[in-house]
Amino acid sequence: MGGAMGLGNWTPAAEFNIYVDPEAAEIVFQSGIPVVMAGLDVTHRAQIMADDIERFRAINNPVARTVAELLDFFMEYHKTEKWGFQGAPLHDPCTIAWLLKPEIFTTARRWVGVETQGKYTQGMTVVDYYMLSGNEPNTDIMLDIDRQAFVDLLAERLAFYQE
């Protein structure tokens, strides 16, 4: 999980995970290994709403209750004027959801680079969405998510825990 095609969450241009080590991220994106980018563009759509939290809480096992309590906090945090979300966006769980059910995501194959020296853009993931650079695509970028399928997957996995 890292990056974004647009706004950052740590600087105006950079998402936190890429910002803290842009050189390493650039090496990974240019390495030739298969890369899937779960950026803020999709993780901000993976919001958990109040009804979803109550659904998780109703599963009534220690793991589901703990997740619900954590989400109660994240819900309040993300409702602040700074963020303005209706729910709590879940970033890192999108990565695991991709591994379990990639079909719930919409993706596009594009070239991605990381700005490593920009005065205002250090850590920014530069996505050649319209393929203007002539660079060969090196990344599958998550663009959208079936939010309900994501919530259902989380509920299913939370219910899997047996005391």
Closest CA to 112 of 128, 123, 124: 128
Both tokens assigned to 130? 């319209």
Report, as an integer, the average pLDDT of 56-81.
92
Is residue 118 situated within a structural domain?
A: yes
Higher pLDDT, 6 or 64: 64
pTM of the model: 0.92
Token digits of residue 8:
């950052």
Asked about 91 being catalytic, the answer comes back as yes
State both tokens at 7. 């706004």
DSSP H helical segments within 10-146, as ranges? Answer: 16-19, 22-30, 40-43, 50-59, 62-78, 92-100
Q: What is the DSSP letter of 137?
A: P
Q: Is residue 121 part of a domain?
A: yes
Q: Quick one: pLDDT at residue 79?
A: 84
Q: What is the C-alpha separation between 59 and 108, in angstroms, rounded?
A: 35
Look at residues 50, 46, 44 and name the one whose alpha carbon lies nearest to residue 68.
Answer: 50
Parent domain of 124: 16-47+88-160
Which of 44, 55, 78, 91 is catalytic? The answer is: 91
Domain count, the chain: 1
117-128 average pLDDT score: 96
